[in-house]
Amino acid sequence: MKIVTCNSNTSLAESIAKKLKKPLCKSIIKRFADMEIFVEILENVRGEDVFVIQSTSYPANDNLMELLITIDALKRGSAKRITAVIPYFGYARQDRKTGPRTPITAKLVSNLITNAGADRVLTLDLHAGQIQGFFDIPTDNLYSAPIFIRDIKKNYKKNITFVSPDVGGITKARDIATHLKSDIAIMDKRRAEPGKSEVMNVIGNVKNKTCIIIDDIVDSAGTLCNAAKAIKKKGAKDIAAYITHGVFSGKAIARISKSPIQRLIVTDSIEPMQSTENSAKVSVLSVATLLSEAIKRINFEKSVSVLFD
């Protein structure tokens, strides 16, 4: 087994390699003067089972190109099998046509990764489950729910209601609520344009409850903070949020700091920024153990789904 990392989340890659007791493969990823990307793998990978770790987070286009070029370099180096380990799969929110003459970019990116030479994909909490079907190669979609459940059990004991900030997140919220034998509530949201949303109604009882918002992505934090304000008006006692991918674009951290949310937990699928680490409200849980166990199982040709049985 060889583990290669690109530049988007080196700290997570190092943690995964440490848990697998394997050194990271030596490589060079640099820019030419015109910002073209150059990749060179400095170790022999012929006949190896290679795992390339790269989140396609900000800057999404640069990180995506790094991944594609690294896969191509490994393919031309005669690697036996290449698995793209993508803790955060960018462009996943464009998973269907939202209007006339709009792209399905999640499918386009899936094609790019496959055509670059990847034999398999390992990712975490895809924005939409159907994206697995966009790939023509085996794709394992891991879930952060077990990590969140352990932390929720540790910090919250009773009177909990899990809140989905929109209809699309009901399944994720319901799965965690069912496991912890708790109630759920749903936000009725209207999105006027990308990045802007308005909460219209709260469906479910949140009065005097500890409300935990469950979602897969926090980007500008507009949806999250609007949801928190809405359930606070409905009488929620305490508000927390567990969200897999912390994108935190623009003034997201500032919005969260001013919101009724008392605690926001994200994973390190995207490398935390300085502002995230300095925020009193934001905590980070690592997915290194989960990803390293999945990598080990793929390498030994064992089932990955048993991790969630």
DSSP bridge pairs for 238: 210
Residue 267 gets which letter from DSSP? E
Distance CA 8, CA 245 (A): 14
Residue 105 CB neighbour total at 10 angstroms? 14
Q: Return contacts of 187-192, CB within 8 angstroms, 24+ apart.
A: 187/163, 187/227, 187/230, 187/231, 189/165, 189/223, 189/226, 189/227
The CA dihedral of 226, 229, 235, 239, to the nearest 10 degrees, is 90
Q: Given 2, 107, 172, 189, which residue is catalytic?
A: 189
Distance CA 175, CA 160 (A): 14
**Phi, psi (5° rounding) for residue 212?**
-120, 115
- Among candidate residues 168, 236, 240, 238, the one with its CA nearest the CA of residue 197: 168
Half-sphere exposure of 166 (CA within 13 A, CB side): 16
Q: Do residues 220 and 250 lie in contact, with contact meaning Cβ atoms separated by under 8 Å?
A: yes
For the question of residue 189 being annotated catalytic, the response is yes
Residue 136 gets which letter from DSSP? S
Residue 212 burial class via C-beta count within 10 angstroms: exposed 0-12, middle 13-18, buried 19 and up: buried
Q: Which residues are catalytic?
A: 189
